[in-house]
Every structure is written in structure tokens, then in C-alpha cells.
Structure 1
Amino acid sequence: MSIRRTATRAFILAGATVAGLLAAAPANALPPHPFGPPALTIGCPNQGSLMSLTGATGQSGPEPGINPGEIRFQTFPAAPPIPAAGQVTVAWINFDTGQNGIANLEGAYPYYSKTVYTGRGNVMATVFGSINLGSMPLCQSNPTFGNFIA
């Protein structure tokens, strides 16, 4: 019985040591995580095409320029033709804290980005917007969704 007690104590001590080491390990951010399928814009002819695709990613911190609890949302062209201009918005909710928000991405289209404080936790976000394909009317881009850990 004392061997069993000694083994149990050793197991508990080893488990506590491993847990302490894992907790003390530096936090590494996940790589940029893509949203679901690229945002599809249909019905606006541009350069001979009836559609355009815009991709989006979310990068959580800590990374240069991204603090813990923040996510940088970014867009990029996913398939030609590249629209002439656009306005892209991200809406997000943190399921762990209840925090939520809406932000317009900024920059030179199609390479928009915005770093937002979402709080730490499980974040669901959607990216949507309007696209200007030059001489054609403004079109709406279908939303795309992503799940991120901040």
C-alpha cells in the first residue's frame, strides 16, 4: 500500500510540474487564419468577368503590432479581376466575454486591414462590403465568416 501511495504522490507531483511548465511557456500566436470561402461578388461585369473574389484572414496576437486579445483582420484579392475600389467591414463577437463590434477596414484596396481589440477568447467574425468595379454600379460582396482564438 505504501508503494501505491508513493506512486500516486509522484504522479501528482509530476502532473503539477508539467502544468506549471506549460503555464510558464511563452504564448505564441497562431498563424493568420483564413475566413471561410472567399467573399464572392457576382453581377458586376469587370474586365470581361461577371464576378470577383476577395479573401480575408484574421491574425491574433501577440505578434508585432498585435497585442494579446487583438485580431488583425485583412483582405486581399483571391482571384482576378481586381475591383477598382471597395469598402469592407468586419463585424465580430467574442463568445467567451460577450464583447462585440463593427469596424471598417482601412488601407489601399484590395489590401485592407484593421486591428481590433476583441478580448481573449473564441471570436466569430464576418467580413462584408461593397465593391466598385470602375464604370459599373456598386455591388455588394457576399459575406464570409471565420472563427478565431484571440
Structure 2
Amino acid sequence: MSARLVRRIAAVTIPIAAATVMSAGNASADPPHPFGGPALTIGCPNQGSLASLTNLTGQSGPEASPPIAKGDIRFESFPAAPPIPAAAQVTVAWLNTDTGQSGIVDLAGVYPNLSATVNTGEGNVIATGFGSINIGSSPICQANPAIGTFIA
């Protein structure tokens, strides 16, 4: 990867990561917790860009709005920076390392904001989000996985 491309990616992702970490959440529960960084998709040219970024978060319950029960985590994906993909299919695979429960869920909703609430059981959860991204008329590309840890 050329140094120029790395600098461009860093110029986009570092401010996004800082904004995500500093964003305020609901005082009644833990705010949505970001995965380790935006999911980077390389190789889908659009609007002069070779990359697209998608943010992934997980929010543990209990929470009233959106409704999240204790022992559940709401996983969400949304665009992190332009260009915004024309369509996407995002999947989250998770494992509760305390109980051994695991699962795979496709996020759903009105694109580009996709989500799913899953019963992970209470405990420490590790999750990875991945999927396919389609930017306009370009070919479908695979998003690099993003990994996060959560406490349900």
C-alpha cells in the first residue's frame, strides 16, 4: 500500500475514531461502544475514492430506547465517511467468552443504518462485523472485518 494511500486513510479514520470515542451516550445506560475501528473496504472506486468506511457499534442493555434487555447487545452499522455505499449486507458473529454462547446475525433495517439486537447472555462478548459493500455501479467488494469486545 503506498504511503500516500495510507496517509489518506489515516486522515479520514483518525478523526472519525476520535469523534466516535468522544460522542456522548444515554446517561441511563452504557453508550454504544465502537468496534476496534471502522470497517475499511478497499477496491470499490467511487467519487474518486478507492475506499469506503463503515462504523460498527455494540450497546449493552438494559436500555429503554432503543429497547435492549439485560444480557442483550444491539449491534449497529452506519456510514463512517463519504462515499456512502449504495447498498450493504453486514453480518456480526459473536461469542460470549464466559458462557460459551455464540451466534451469527445479519443486521437489518433501512439502509444505510442497519441493526440487530441479540441475546448474548450476560458476560464478556467478543464480536466481529464483516460484509459486502456495493458502491453505486461498481462491483461488490468485501469489507475488512472489525472486531470489538463488549460486556453484556
TM tier, smaller = 0.7 to 0.9
Q: Which residue of 2 aligns with 1:108?
A: 110
Q: Which residue of 2 aligns with 1:59?
A: 59
Give the aligned residue type for 1:44. Answer: C
Shift of 1:30: 1.6
How far apart are the structure 1 equivalents of 2:121 and 2:111? Answer: 27
Residues 1-150 of structure 1: pairs in structure 2 closer than 5 A: 29-64=29-64, 65-150=67-152
How far apart are the structure 2 equivalents of 1:138 and 1:108? Answer: 19
How far apart are the structure 2 equivalents of 1:131 and 1:145? Answer: 18
Identity of aligned residues (%): 72
State the number of aligned residues. Answer: 123
Between 1:52-61 and 1:28-37, the stretch displaced more is 28-37
Give the aligned residue type for 2:132. Answer: S
4+ residue stretches of structure 1 with deviation over 2 A?
A: none
Between 1:87-96 and 1:39-48, the stretch displaced more is 39-48
How far apart are the structure 2 equivalents of 1:109 and 1:54? Answer: 12
Q: Secondary structure of 2:74's partner? A: strand
- Structure 1, unmatched stretches of 5+, are 1-27
TM-score w.r.t. length of structure 2: 0.79
- Structure 2, unmatched stretches of 5+, are 1-27
Shift of 1:88: 0.2
Q: CA RMSD in A?
A: 0.8
Give the aligned residue type for 1:78. Answer: A
